[in-house]
Structure 1
Amino acid sequence: MSRHAFQYAVLRAVPRIDRGEFVNVGVILYCQGLDYLRASVVLDPVRLRALDVDVDLDAVSTSADAVVLACRRPEGTARENTGLAYTFGQLTAPRSTVVQPSPVHAGLTDDPEQTLAGLLTRLVAPPA
């Protein structure tokens, strides 16, 4: 199997922008070589409420789900200006909203779906 370079960012819920505290809630993974762009989200209300008891869980869920949906919308191939690379860039651009991306990181994968699941387990799932 050949390995392909990929990039990913962690989605962070920031219930109170003024405090800057966050909980990881998802991962966006982009692999140009395989024309793959997906996001997966797991919200933990207990962890979010630990940062802000009045957190708007619906707003966090809606924002995170919008990223997942944006990754599934057909945008052309990775090599087109309006393709997956452009979408990944838009989704990982810094912003001051209730759901924010982390800096972008890179790696190698032979199965981006499995890599996404592994990153979600390692970086987002509540500690066991």
Structure 2
Amino acid sequence: MPAPSSFDYAIIRVVPRVEREEFINAGVVLFCTTQRFLGARIELDDARLKALSPEVDVDMVRGHLESFRRVCEGGKDSGPIGRLPQKDRWHWLVAPRSTIIQTGPVHSGLCQGPNPEPRLALEHLVDTVVRVR
């Protein structure tokens, strides 16, 4: 069995009214140095967001959330931040901010099992902390 790889992750939150400090989890960003993986998975629940803040512009929020995915992918179409080295992009994505889109604290985990892929860990985290069952 392959050796487990450690990773760091943060929950991506939508905070429609920063002064109220209420938020919903809308995605996860995960960085695994050993496997050179930086990825974000976004799943915005429009109904939950509208229940929290009826006046919020959902399309604007989706656009901002999409920038997380583009920065993770990197390359020329991802803007100046997306052209930085992977580790620098990770630090930029999880830097504290007081805007409508925020990340929570950084946590660590292990990619383990018969198929220790960071993408599987990312999917598991989205299922655990973003999706409402």
Runs (5+) with no aligned partner, structure 1: 76-81
Please give the alpha-carbon distance, in whole angstroms, between the structure 1 residues aligned to 2:75 and 2:39: 11
| Residue equivalent to 1:78 | none
Shift of 1:74: 4.0
* Cα RMSD after superposing both structures: 1.2
Please give the alpha-carbon distance, in whole angstroms, between the structure 2 residues aligned to 1:13 and 1:88: 18
| The structure with more helix, counted as a fraction of residues | 2
Please give the alpha-carbon distance, in whole angstroms, between the structure 2 residues aligned to 1:4 and 1:74: 25
What is the number of equivalent residue pairs in this alignment? 121
Please give the alpha-carbon distance, in whole angstroms, between the structure 2 residues aligned to 1:74 and 1:35: 15
Amino acid at match of 1:26: G
1:26-77 deviation digits (Å, cap 9, x = unpaired)? 00000000000000100111110121111110121011100011000149xx
Residue 93 of structure 1: which of 83, 92, 95 is its match?
95
What's the % identity of the aligned pairs?
A: 36
Shift of 1:94: 0.5
Amino acid at match of 1:53: P
Runs (5+) with no aligned partner, structure 2: 77-83
Structure 1 residue runs of 4+, over 4 Å off? none
- TM-score, reference length from structure 1: 0.91
- TM-score, reference length from structure 2: 0.87
